[in-house]
Structure formats: structure tokens, C-alpha cells
Amino acid sequence: MYKGKHWTIGLGGAATLVLALAFVPSAFAAPSGWFDNTKSYTEDTGIVCGSSANSFDIIDSATVHKYGPSFSDTNGNFVKDINFIDTVGTFSNSLTGASVTYKSRSIEHDSLATPGDFSSTFTAVTTGEMNIVVPRAGAVWQATGRLVDTFYPNGDETLDFYGPHDPFVYFLLGDTSVADKLCAAFGA
């Protein structure tokens, strides 16, 4: 049985992850707004496959569509939002251009512990999936499960993972072995 993982990150880690926000009773009001935006990006994932002259970086190019309602209290203070996130992208070998495509869908619930007080504890709860299956290699990337990311007023942050989660998160936290299957799909 998978028991989940829990990490505590200090002020530096919290500063690098700017998310918003935990469910509170006042959050169950009617939506006070709606957001809908799409952006595209291309970035180096930081994942290096192979060694010496045969090494290459994995590049991520994607289009992300975020949409959903936001909620405020009767005084107009932000309480929470719900982000529906659809992503279509490509991981590619920086040297050869060989690529694998992916689609992901997730839902993020962000909320403040104290409405309108962005210095109060806030939590982002994300569920969703992104699975990459490559012919003759099988599943090379699996992200399903739940991530709870909580930021505290003192600058601390906790990350709780339940179920198989995005290997890139584990990679950022130091477990580089999670990229082995993806690298192998590119021949590294």
C-alpha cells in the first residue's frame, strides 16, 4: 500500500513556488469571478540524459489552458479559486529533436486560511494525471494522484504526495532516477 510522501521546505523553497491557497467554510459561496487564459512555453526541464559527449537535455514545450471560478467573501476578499488545467506538450531531445507528446489534465483548489490575508497559511491541492506511453517502451512517465502544497506565514512549506505523482516533482527534490525511463525512450 502506498503511504505517500511528505517533505518540508524552508523559506527558499517556498519562495520558488508561488501558488495560492486551503478550504475554509466561507469558501462555499457563489463564484465571484471567472478566469480563462492560455499560455505557451518552451523550457529546459533540467533533466540531463546520458553522459559526457552523449548527454542531452530534455526540453518541454507546451500550451497550458487554465480556467475556472474564483470566490470572494462578502467583503470582496479572496477566499479560493478552482483551476482546471489542460496541457498539451512535447518532451524533446535537445540534440536530435526526437520527441514524445503528452496531454495532461489537472484540477487545483487554492485557498487562504484567512480570506483576503495573503500572509496567512494557504494551500494548493492538485489532483490530475499525465501519463506518457511510448511504443516499444511502455509507460515512461506517470503522474496520477494528489499533491497538497501548503505555505505557512513563517516561510515554511510542506508537500504531501499521495499515489504515483509527477516524476518531475521528485526530480526537483533530488531523485534523478525518476527520469530514467524517459531518458531511455530517447535512447540514452
**23-45 residue pLDDT tens:** 344 444 567 889 999 999 999 98
> For residue 6, what pLDDT band results from cuts at 50, 70 and 90?
very low
Asked whether residue 12 carries a pLDDT value surpassing 50, the answer given is no
**100-124 residue pLDDT tens:** 998 889 999 999 999 999 889 988 8
* Burial of residue 65 (number of CB atoms within 10 Å: 0-12, 13-18, 19+): middle
Integer Cα distance of 105 and 17 in angstroms: 20
Look up the domain containing 113 and give its range: 5-185
> 126 and 150 in contact (C-beta within 8 Å)?
no
DSSP-assigned letter for residue 31: P
Asked whether residue 58 carries a pLDDT value surpassing 50, the answer given is yes
pLDDT at 136: 78
Integer Cα distance of 156 and 168 in angstroms: 21
**Number of domains observed in the structure of the chain:** 1
> For residue 3, what pLDDT band results from cuts at 50, 70 and 90?
very low
Please name the amino acid found at residue 139: A
pLDDT at 82: 93
Phi, psi of 3 (to 5 degrees): -100, -5
> 108 and 92 in contact (C-beta within 8 Å)?
no
